Amino acid sequence: MEALIGVLAGDGIGPEVMAEALRVLKAVENKYQHRFVYEEALIGGIAIDTHGNPFPDATRKLCAEADAVLLGAVGGPKWSDPDSKIRPEQGLLGMRSAMGVFANLRPVQTHPALYASSPLRSERLHGVDILVVRELTGGAYFGKKERTADSATDVCTYTRMEIERVLRMAGELARTRRRKITSVDKANVLETSRLWRSIATELYAREYPDVQLDHLYVDAAAMHLLSRAADFDVLVTENLFGDILTDEASMLTGSLGMLPSASLNAEKRGLYEPIHGSAPDIAGRGIANPCGTILSAAMLLRHSLGLETEARAIESAVMAAVENGCRTADIALPGKAAVGTRAVGDAVLQALGA
């Protein structure tokens, strides 16, 4: 297998966690006899500082050519003025749009070794294995925006095409799992949600009769994620709801630092990133949790390169490292010393046998 992987370390802790993910990917290369070419580019705040643009032309070109893109994080207080016309997050939104990635996949799995790191009681965590599929290019994030001194408007718009393609992605993924889909909306209030629910009901009955479909309002979904999370299999929803619910769901696993994500287009070319932010308060200290980024690299191997064995090997190695007590501060056990970012990478490489 030969592949071009775009590497966008970004801001804050991005370069630190990216370094460990690349060490793991290079070990996989050697162990399984692949050839990955890594090309770096700038995005976010560092791209603003260097080029005056959070998504420079060179980065756009790389994203268009790469088989997959691995991202660290963007943003930070240096660029956080909400009135600024140029912000790091614009680079992320621009990249998603340029790559045509419309489905964001966020797996949420609990593990007994991390029960103590969650604020929830352990009995709420048994057997949780959820795949959230979030629509990524529509809704309020991309709608028309207006602001005056005394009012502001963010328009939420969805088309049938946008809804159908992400529902189909969720349907295909559900067939590889427990064949259960929960479609999350706010159809009692929002017209976009009424359209979403209508299309979901029609499409799954017609094209996925073997998949069980349930509908749930987003406020109820937020509650049930904390009270009966193990009942969910695939959860599919629109952009804003998915952004909020996945951050909530991260508390089931113990830390945002443990969660990866994949954003895919129709050809399964993808953008892979941990769901955590740039964490500027700990940047440069070598204490960030790299597991989310390493697990994002595993998703890259699985979804864009079709390397399932290699992906599973990385995932197993990460959990072996955690089980053996190699934990950063966000998931450290009470009374146990936390380790640094590099030490976690070392432990994963040892478990990988590379």
Q: What residues are labeled active site? A: 141, 186, 219, 243, 247
Residue 353 burial (CB < 10 Å; 0-12/13-18/19+)? exposed
- Closest C-alpha among 238, 287, 270 to residue 17: 287
Nearest to 291 by CA among 28, 46, 16, 7: 16
With vertex at residue 244, the alpha carbon angle to CA 241 and CA 49, rounded to the nearest 5 degrees, is 110
Rounded to 5 degrees, φ, ψ at 180 are -130, 130
CB atoms within 10 A of CB 100: 15
Copy the structure tokens of residue 134: 């979030």
Count CA atoms within 13 Å of residue 233 on its CB side. Answer: 17
Query: What is the distance between the alpha carbons of residues 216 and 185, in angstroms, rounded to a whole number?
Result: 6
SS3 37: strand
How is residue 139 written in tokens?
A: 């809704």
Interatomic CA distance for residues 158 and 4, integer angstroms: 33
Instruction: Quote the Cα angle for 199-204-206, to 5°.
Output: 95
- Residue at token pair 């795949």: 131
Scored b (16 or more CB within 10 A) or e, 142-169 reads: beeeeeeeeeeeeebebeeebbebbbbb
Q: What is the dihedral of CA 334, 336, 338, 342, to 10 degrees?
A: -140
Alpha-carbon gap, residue 352 to 140, rounded angstroms: 42
Q: How far apart are CA 42 and CA 235, in angstroms?
A: 33
